[in-house]
Structure 1
Amino acid sequence: MTAWTHARSLAGDWDPPWLSGRGETLRARCGEDFTAVRVPADLARPALTALGPRTGPVLANRTTRTWHFLLPPGSVLPDDWPYGVRVMPEGRPIGIPPLTTTGGRDVHWAVPPGRGVTSPADLHRVLKGRLLPAALSPARTEPQLPSRAPGRVAAQSKPCPLTPAQLTVGRLLLTGASDTQMAEELKLPIGTVRQQLNRIGRRFGAPTAVRKAVALLAGGHIAPPPVLMLAPEFSPDDLAGLHVLAGLAPEDDLPAELRSSDPFLDGLDELRERCGARTDPHLIALAAFWGLLPSLLNPAFGKEQP
């Protein structure tokens, strides 16, 4: 019986080789016992809700804010996953925690083995369809923010001011704080922090953390946090990637060699490291502070709400 067949049984009745029963995290390699699809936390949570009982094993990591959906090995996968989603290459090691590890900051089970198997087609459908970030969705009809117009302002209407709590959480989002770090900083339950983030998202139609950061900056609600570090050198490809990440430009603006998920994400990983950015929203905020995203330079900066 294969490890994946075991995974379809009750959790207490199987002991696959990629599951640690000794209270320690083991290293397993993609392609042998499972196929792993890495999804940003902001997309993974609603995807999990949409999939419901059709979800198989899912790993989550609050520190890196990434989730891994574990699919049957050798699954036939589409090749057009949305940006931010990555099919992990064969041989790539992944930490597999004990079955009892269902919480904490580091890798843990969001959905433990034994509850079913995720269909690659279902996962692709919910990520590529209604859960795709609004600025990249083919169904989007609203005008997008300008991407190559220095000095222009990406104006957004503000029918009502953000609450002080939303502004505080938004400021921490722009510094790269995780949900857990925000909760610790503000001495609030993590559920309350996520509630405020969700309200910001609903206010601006921003389903991901990056889109929330862009909306807060472009609308003049919050200024980018100042940093002492000078901007590193950015290549034209770096700038194109920043604009696509922020939803300020279409994917067609990327060079042809970056129009697949892996090169694009590898480039962002390198860019975050070079800039000292903790997260993608932090990277966008740094780029805005350095003047690399002109459409986010809003005159309202300096006149921020109290």
Structure 2
Amino acid sequence: MPVHGTPDAHPVSAGAVGASRLRTASLVVVAVALALPAVVLFVGSLRPPDSPPLRRPELLPSDAGFDSYREAFHLVDLARQLTNSVVVALIATPLAVGCASLAGFVIARAPRSIARFLIGLAVIGMVVPTTALLIGRFGVYRELGVLDTMVPLIAPALFGVNALSVLLFAWSFSMLPRSVFDVAELESVSPWRAWFGIALPMARPMTIAVGTLAFAATWSDFLNPLVFVTSNEKFTVPLGLRSLQLVGGEDVSVVLAGCVVATAPVVIVFAIAQRWLFASLRGAES
């Protein structure tokens, strides 16, 4: 005996399968499009130094090797520059996450009029060009005696690296149930404990995302080291790549090898953060 509604179940199931396959195919296309430049960069870095320009693309050079990497580390002190960048990023990233999340928590918990005013200030901070603040910052750092140190490279983390991080945290905290904080206030939980012990753990996906963006922004920062650092011993990776381009700019494979060395840490951090982010989202949904 036929059951009413049964025939409609198969088309819905088939449509869902088709949509899933379409999403998967779209993700594959996007992944290939994003990975292709990285593959070309890596393959080009495997060519020997002083190689003539390619007339046509090749999947793998016949004389592939890592001589270009050795030459890149020989021409400039990439090892020291990598160390400097790692030190700056390891200090600046958690500092940026902490400051941005604290500012976002204040905005989310403030009365509506004050929150709007603070959001307006954050938006203005996003609009003001970074170069417009360089002269004032240079004077402040000179008076403090911290020029040509790591301090000017870490200092932007005190403002969350950029105002967008603050706004992202403010939005994330505003989505949390207010009843949780009301109960915490009745239990005489201090605002500091409410921020660190309640808000941050509940906004873990946003914390991972902002931390990843802060790491990438700090690692790729070229302007601050260029203006505030003068000693070669204090150079970070972006300045090292610029020096490598000036010294061996005609040797494309060596420059590409330096680019791979500079890009690899960011790719690794993004890959790890992606796994943490998906794990956090699955935990939030369960």
- Give the shorter-chain TM-score range: under 0.3
More helix per residue: 2
Structure possessing the higher relative contact order (Cα contacts under 8 Å, 6 or more residues apart) = 2
TM-score, reference length from structure 1 = 0.22
TM-score, reference length from structure 2 = 0.23
More strand per residue: 1
